[in-house]
Structure 1
Amino acid sequence: MTIPRGWTTVVHPEGTRYFVNRETRTFTEMDIRKRDICDRIEYYMEYLLDQLQRNLEQRNLTLDMRQVDLVVEPKVYDGDSVVCCYYFANHRDRCLFWLDDFNPEYVTSLCKGIKSVSHIRLAIEAQYWRHWDYFPSLCPVTQNIVDELKDMLIHATCDHLTSSQSSSAFDATELKDHLSVVDGIKVHPTPPADQSMQRGHAAIVIGRIMCIFINNHFMNYHGEDCVRLASEQTVHGWKYQRSPLMVILAPLLFFDPMTHIQELHKIFVDDIISMTRWNLFCSKLNGQLQDSNLLATVLLNANVGFLAINSVDVSGRSPTQVASYMSLVASMGSMILGLLLVSHNRAMGQGANFRTATFMSRLHDREHGLEKLAIGYSLPKALLIWGMVFFFAAFSVNWWSPGDTSSRAIVSTVMLVVFVMMAYSIILIRKSDHW
């Protein structure tokens, strides 16, 4: 099939194919080699460009058409009706625009409380840089843009190095990698026409990174009165309120849910997840779960060995055996839950932004936040501690019953000293934690 006159086929570096009319700077992903599709696209192309020119003349506006791209995609509905989807990309002002009324809800739905046009403009600019990623052929890669992107990466790197609550979209390692990629971009003053059409790799790199940066500015309300300057800062003034369930379970779970919920609410702020903090949290949690599983295995073996002692293995069910059985069940529960949580965190994978955000949003409560998730993450450790408590109870009953006064006094004194030191340490640790 032949390409219509005036059009050029371009293969995106990722493999997709699209068509470009260099004279009118029009792009489409539809197969214009089919006559009916080509006629339809050229009709809407001429109509939209003519309407744009008329609007400029009527409103006495100036716009260099050599810096404006048009993306057209007519769609057929109900067999005969045609709806033309389109947008204009203005390279001078770094924005997209339309000739018809456009509802920006599609690009602003992830951010709540939008009240100013300048804030909406950031969302539109992020979509403009996405245009560079999709149709890079005629995007103007200049040294000024490359230098601007380098400055943004350098500033974000410095922000991470000098602040523990950076609101940057990347972590320090990612910023270093991105900066090395951008350093490899070479800008040719006057590249050949055919080369600029075929090689859009640099434009794609710039577009993707800039899109993430500008979208991060949009989500953090840059330039607005309520700008988020730290990743832990809430813009909407949300405060965590503990539920009766948390009040009851927190002491039973040795207040470990309170530690987890503080970390989770620093990760998921205003329905926005910080993937950097989430990845660090998952890595730390997986390490803790693996340690708990190891200790639970040791405790399980200790209970099995303890139950095999002749003085413990008696007919009937003594308090010593019951306590040891409870310790055995608690350690098994800790192991099973730990394995399941480690498997779940690994299945989520690092960098799966959409999946992780959906998972957190589904569990987030309007008043109580991520309490359910915090309780679930606390169960393996709490069950392990309860297993130790039950094992200690079984051990205590076993040595107390046949013991004499001197042995009871010595062991009781040592137990008292150990409990005092443990209580003092726990109080010091919990002083830094808040409800």
Structure 2
Amino acid sequence: MSTVPLPAGGSGGKIPRVPSPGYDLGPVAESPISDHAVLGSSSSLPFGRSSGLDEAPIPVPSLPGDNASVPYNGGLASMVDSCNIPTAGSNTPQATRRDTDGGNAEPALPIICIAPFDVNCMKYLRDVFYPPDSSRSKILTLQPGVWEFKRPGIPLGWKAHECPEGKLYFYYKSRRLLTMIDIENDQNRRQIERAGDDLLSQLASMDAPDDAEITLMKTHHGEEEAIGYYVASMSHQRIFWFKEVEVSYVTNGERAVVSEMHLEKAVREQFWQHVEMFPNHRGLLGVAIRELKDAFAYGLCEDEINPVNTAAAARLLYSIYKERFLHFHGEAGARLDRKDSAYKADIRGPRSIIFNFILPLLFYMPSMYLEKLEGISVDSSFYNLYWSQFVEALKRDWEGSIIPATVLLSANVGFLAINSIDTTSPNKSAAQISSYISSIFSLGIFIVAQILSRRHLLFVNRQPQPRDMLQFTIAGESRLIGLEGVAVAFSLPTALFLWSAVAFIVALMFIFFENGSFATKVVMGVVIGFMGIVVILLLYME
């Protein structure tokens, strides 16, 4: 079951997950060969690609133990012979202060704490644009015999990596610094390296893991620029900072933290989002591969993998820990059912007086829609599968009202065309008035359906995104009667059709009972009475 949490601060820029077939990660072998993870296992990570090309699967190397590193290059189908595990000593990042500002007295930017989901939002903020005219290319000719292409302008010590999505990030291996900021710009590089020196000094003074890597991003703190950071460790699957921070840095305000083990799941969720954003310069732990394989075996992730993103392992583990945190996994009050709320005994809220008054006027249709809406969004978590099913059913309901309304409108036009009914007298008969009312209701169905379809076009025509569903919920709950009003709006096409049909039946009844014989009145009275009882019983049973 897939849920989309609705964070208090939004989760802009996330890639939609689409269903895909299950994958078998294969056995993870144990090998005592050396301290390095060496290729040779028959296991593979056959994560699909959207290019349509027949590409080789991603090999999973043999693993010497839980803390061995699996060479993983972010999903590029290539073979890696070995992967050096960072250890204490010569590989430990050193806080060596250098003259990074070229002798200029450039003030250092303040350093603040940020979280991986903050970096994920920054990742999608575009500030570089390219000319649309191909004649303005930076390179206009291709030299003969060129078979190697390089990226110029990378500062000494840094290495550029391409995310599977295409975003460029930079890694300083000897100092374990990461950033998505363009360090080809000298000012950016100086600011990032200066902040890195300060943070590495703090890292050296604490008992930190040997593989700790510092992520640095330029951001804003109030009105001024600042450098945001967090530290991540693959061996511990954790992120941390050098000072005390609020738990919202890892929970994003999505849930109240009820225990340390509950908090750990939020920390791991953020860690795996970090790995997803910076996937290419390190390996994966054997224990992480095993945990991912177990999750596949249990079937928790069959709909979570995104075939267009080859950094799928980190995305899956990020999703697993997000789900566990949101549903209080491992706690006494864990949520085991999608309609089970961790906050209250009944997900149904009290019905307002206005809503109860409107219900019979709309044939109790809003009640059905409201129950579905309340079941889809429980504890501020949207369930993608059930939301999609609800939207498809809603679309069918609206279409099912429009087609009969067209037939009913034609019947009213034909009814009014009868000479004995449609007279030129300004005093219209009761049958005429009822037919006019029925026609207006039929036309109202078209108008209402068009408005609702345009208003909810983004839900009807494509897979909804978390931001879309969040805005939908906030907009609905902020109105006069909240989601009850949304349910009333959704039920209008069907209710208007029923009222149109009732008005047309009333028009026929006036003709039958005004000008008909006694026998006609008795027969029609019995038939109409029987149908009325059936309709009332159906409404009562619903």
TM range (shorter): 0.7 to 0.9
Determine whether 1:90 maps to 2:201: no
Query: Which letter maps to 1:322?
Result: I
Distance change >3 Å, CA 405–CA 35, structure 1 → 2: closer
- Counterparts of 2:415 and 2:323 in 1: how far apart (Å)? 57
What is the match of residue 181 of structure 2?
A: 30
Deviations 1:128-160 (A, max 9, x none): 111112111233225543342232234235xxx
- Counterparts of 1:394 and 1:235 in 2: how far apart (Å)? 53
Give the alignment partner of residue 454 of structure 2, picking from 338, 343, 350: 343
* Residue aligned with 1:141, SS: strand
Identity of aligned residues (%): 28
Give the alignment partner of residue 370 of structure 1, picking from 483, 488, 493: 483
Contact 2:216 2:229 in 1 (8 A): yes
* Residue aligned with 1:401, SS: helix
* Residue aligned with 2:456, SS: helix
What is the match of residue 322 of structure 2?
A: 215
Give the alignment partner of residue 407 of structure 2, picking from 295, 298, 307: 298
Determine whether 1:150 maps to 2:293: yes
Give the alignment partner of residue 261 of structure 2, picking from 118, 127, 145: 118
Determine whether 1:105 maps to 2:248: yes
Give the alignment partner of residue 283 of structure 2, picking from 140, 150, 158: 140
* Residue aligned with 1:223, SS: coil
Structure 1 gap ranges (5+): 57-62, 158-169, 183-200, 431-435
Determine whether 1:355 maps to 2:355: no
Give the superposition deviation at 1:105.
Answer: 2.1
Distance change >3 Å, CA 342–CA 41, structure 1 → 2: closer
- Counterparts of 1:409 and 1:77 in 2: how far apart (Å)? 82
What is the match of residue 166 of structure 1?
A: none
Give the superposition deviation at 1:386.
Answer: 0.5
- 6-15 or 323-332, which deviates more: 6-15
TM-score after normalising by structure 1? 0.81
- Counterparts of 1:112 and 1:77 in 2: how far apart (Å)? 25
Contact 2:176 2:213 in 1 (8 A): yes
- 338-347 or 375-384, which deviates more: 338-347
Give the alignment partner of residue 236 of structure 1, picking from 320, 343, 348: 343
Distance change >3 Å, CA 132–CA 381, structure 1 → 2: same
Contact 1:364 1:370 in 2 (8 A): yes
- Counterparts of 2:248 and 2:166 in 1: how far apart (Å)? 30
Structure 2 gap ranges (5+): 1-151
What is the match of residue 82 of structure 2?
A: none
What is the match of residue 216 of structure 2?
A: 72
Give the alignment partner of residue 508 of structure 2, picking from 395, 401, 404: 395
Determine whether 1:284 maps to 2:393: yes
Deviations 1:211-252 (A, max 9, x none): 222212222122223221111111111541010111110011
Contact 1:272 1:357 in 2 (8 A): no
- Counterparts of 1:217 and 1:231 in 2: how far apart (Å)? 13
- Counterparts of 2:377 and 2:400 in 1: how far apart (Å)? 26
The alignment of Structure 1 onto Structure 2 pairs a total of residues equal to 385
- Counterparts of 1:402 and 1:360 in 2: how far apart (Å)? 54
Distance change >3 Å, CA 102–CA 405, structure 1 → 2: same
Distance change >3 Å, CA 141–CA 367, structure 1 → 2: farther
Contact 1:265 1:369 in 2 (8 A): no
Matches within 5 A, 1:189-228: 202=310, 204-228=311-335
Contact 1:95 1:124 in 2 (8 A): yes
RMSD, aligned CA: 2.7
Contact 1:275 1:353 in 2 (8 A): no
TM-score after normalising by structure 2? 0.66
Distance change >3 Å, CA 365–CA 37, structure 1 → 2: closer
- 81-90 or 247-256, which deviates more: 81-90
Contact 2:512 2:520 in 1 (8 A): no
- Counterparts of 1:111 and 1:336 in 2: how far apart (Å)? 39
- Counterparts of 2:524 and 2:218 in 1: how far apart (Å)? 85
Contact 1:226 1:235 in 2 (8 A): yes
- 244-253 or 337-346, which deviates more: 337-346
Distance change >3 Å, CA 278–CA 236, structure 1 → 2: same
- Counterparts of 2:279 and 2:509 in 1: how far apart (Å)? 74
